[in-house]
Amino acid sequence: NKRVKVKDLLASEPTGQEVTVMGWVRTFRNNQFIALNDGSTNNNLQIVVELGMLDENTLKRITTGASLKVTGKAVPSLGKGQKMDINATSLEILGDSDAEKFPLQPKKHSLEFLREIAHLRFRTNTFGSVFRVRHALAFAVHKFFNEKGFVYMHTPIVTASDAEGAGEMFRVTTLPFDNPPRNEDGTINFKEDFFGRSTNLTVSGQLEGELAATAFSEIYTFGPTFRAENSNTARHLAEFWMIEPEMAFCDIEDNQNLAEEFIKYLIRHVMEHNREDLEFLSQRLAEEEKQLPQDKRSEMGLIEKLEFVINNDFERITYTEAIDILLQSPAYKKKKFQYEVKWGIDMQSEHERYLVEKHFKKPVIVTGYPKEIKAFYMRQNDDGKTVAAMDILAPGIGEIVGGSQREERLDKLTERMKEMHIPAEELWWYLDTRRYGTVPHAGFGLGFERMVLFVTGMTNIRDVIAFPRTPKNAEF
């Protein structure tokens, strides 16, 4: 007898056919009705145990969290709100669950509490939905780029390039901590380290991605990214996943078009394939918002919001326009912003969210950032002050995409590196792309967890990754 998944079973007609299901008990009522869940859907399967079929001891062992194998007949349910029951003919307990100790009782738990038991939280409806949506999004990422003929490149996890990091890197070393080899001046001698130099975990696959794009024309990476983010925010992780496409023969406008199309594609995919989960999450969010004062509640539900996003153009503005809007905003005049607003300094999440949620009421693409606040590789605009950068800002989050057209002119690039004290010798391999057949090219990075936040309506990034890595938190 082959095991059938609950989701597939519930999609079929109950005609008395014999089936075998396996899963975990969510509830057990009246010594008769078991709600069984196998993670394929939030809809539990109702197993009906006939009186007298099981002995006292077995009945006692059917507790929340226990795992079962059940064989029975699929019949139309007599109960309301469900399509079918399984009338059990045999029931085997695969694993007991101590009801006294099992932390997930059949009631609503706070997300904060569930974060402390992240190893068990997959067994809740909320996390069931979140991680099925996350899975679907990951699949859609590959589908999108595959349809467009992009080559999936695996850029390295361990790298020596520290061009971007600005102190956010995790070191990788095999040198002993207690007595590392030292140079004459007392500094650690990384020549004796495993790779013969100091290395770190990647903060972005972009530089390596550019090398590949200038051979395959269009590539993307989708892998883990590491940043020793010191602040505890609801949108930063120390380990997150990033999708980074890089395109040759592409300018900043093509880049914006691709990013917008990509985000809409991902949302559309989930709307088509994960309707049930989105409806659950939408409902959950609505209930949560009922606790908020009227003026803090959103005008649209989650699904409506996503529909609006895919059916409308993103707003496109320059950084200079963004700063002007902020300076003229009621929020600024009433001193509601915590951080300074001024041309030349980076916008904070509160500013980005103001533009999206209060001003434009739709996602916003901001281009033309001051060169001082952006990386060395971004293409310089003719005004001498700004670069061809772009950020995409989303409701509830702020920045979800950071990208740019890259500086393809060798002289401009090396000049900028000199100004920023980045030694050209260390990036000789990167500069080779500009020496041999340089082309206009562009790319962006989409933070995968921020995209999952966007689509699920969850508000804390720790709740959209299975095992969040944040300061002082890496136990499991």
For ligand ATP, the binding residues (CB under 6 A) are: 227, 229, 236-237, 240, 242, 399-402, 445, 447, 449-450
Among 128, 402, 403, 457, binds Mg ion (CB under 5 A): 402
Tell the smallest beta-carbon distance from residue 278 to ligand ATP (Å). 21
C-beta of 89 vs 230, nearer to ligand ATP: 230
Where residue 374 falls (left for φ over 0; alpha for ψ -120 to 50; beta otherwise) is beta
Question: How many beta carbons lie within 10 A of that of residue 266, not counting itself?
Answer: 26
Tell the smallest beta-carbon distance from residue 470 to Mg ion (Å). 14
Tokens representing 232 are: 């505890």
Q: Residues 88, 92, 94, CA angle at the centre, nearest 5°?
A: 140
Tell the smallest beta-carbon distance from residue 365 to ligand ATP (Å). 12
Contact of residue 447 among Mg ion, ligand ATP, none (CB under 5-8 Å per partner type): ligand ATP
Q: Are 456 and 130 in contact (CB under 8 A)?
A: yes
C-beta of 349 vs 460, nearer to Mg ion: 349
Tell the smallest beta-carbon distance from residue 231 to Mg ion (Å). 9
Tell the smallest beta-carbon distance from residue 456 to ligand ATP (Å). 15
Q: Are 435 and 263 in contact (CB under 8 A)?
A: no
Q: Is residue 209 a contact residue for Mg ion (CB under 5 A)?
A: no
**What is the side-by-side order of every strand in the sheet holding 158-159?**
158-159, 199-201, 171-172
Distance (Å, whole) CA 297 – CA 288: 9
Distance (Å, whole) CA 460 – CA 448: 13
- Binding positions for Mg ion, 360-399, rule CB under 5 A: 399
C-beta of 278 vs 397, nearer to Mg ion: 397
Cα–Cα nearest to 224, from 242, 209, 236: 242
Contact of residue 449 among ligand ATP, Mg ion, none (CB under 5-8 Å per partner type): ligand ATP
Tokens representing 108 are: 């609503």
C-beta of 17 vs 230, nearer to ligand ATP: 230
Tell the smallest beta-carbon distance from residue 97 to Mg ion (Å). 42
Tokens representing 175 are: 């040198």
Q: What are phi and psi of 63, to 5 degrees?
A: -120, 165
CA distances from 168 to 164, 165, 274, 278, 475 (A): 9, 5, 36, 35, 21
C-beta of 88 vs 237, nearer to ligand ATP: 237
Q: Residues 220, 224, 226, CA angle at the centre, nearest 5°?
A: 120
Provide the terminal-to-terminal Cα distance of the chain, rounded to the nearest Å.
36
Beta-carbon contacts of residue 23 (< 8 Å; ≥ 6 apart): 6, 36, 37, 38, 39, 45, 67, 68
C-beta of 38 vs 399, nearer to Mg ion: 399
Contact of residue 237 among ligand ATP, Mg ion, none (CB under 5-8 Å per partner type): ligand ATP
Binding residues for Mg ion, rule CB under 5 A, total 2
Contact of residue 242 among ligand ATP, Mg ion, none (CB under 5-8 Å per partner type): ligand ATP
Tokens representing 428 are: 């000789």
Tell the smallest beta-carbon distance from residue 463 to ligand ATP (Å). 13
C-beta of 69 vs 316, nearer to Mg ion: 316
C-beta of 259 vs 306, nearer to ligand ATP: 259
Window contacting Mg ion (CB under 5 A); options: 179-187, 376-384, 400-408, 459-467: 400-408
Distance (Å, whole) CA 270 – CA 212: 30
Tell the smallest beta-carbon distance from residue 168 to ligand ATP (Å). 8
Beta-carbon contacts of residue 57 (< 8 Å; ≥ 6 apart): none
Tell the smallest beta-carbon distance from residue 238 to ligand ATP (Å). 7
C-beta of 398 vs 440, nearer to Mg ion: 398
Contact of residue 400 among ligand ATP, Mg ion, none (CB under 5-8 Å per partner type): ligand ATP
Cα–Cα nearest to 236, from 348, 356, 319: 348
- Binding positions for Mg ion, 139-158, rule CB under 5 A: none
C-beta of 123 vs 236, nearer to ligand ATP: 236
Query: Binding string, 313-352, against Mg ion, x = CB under 5 A?
Result: ----------------------------------------
The string of DSSP letters for 416-448 reads HHHHTT--GGGGHHHHHHHHSS---EEEEEEEH
Tell the smallest beta-carbon distance from residue 5 to ligand ATP (Å). 32
Beta-carbon contacts of residue 435 (< 8 Å; ≥ 6 apart): 410
Tell the smallest beta-carbon distance from residue 388 to Mg ion (Å). 14
Contact of residue 123 among Mg ion, ligand ATP, none (CB under 5-8 Å per partner type): none
The contact set with Mg ion (CB under 5 A) reads: 399, 402
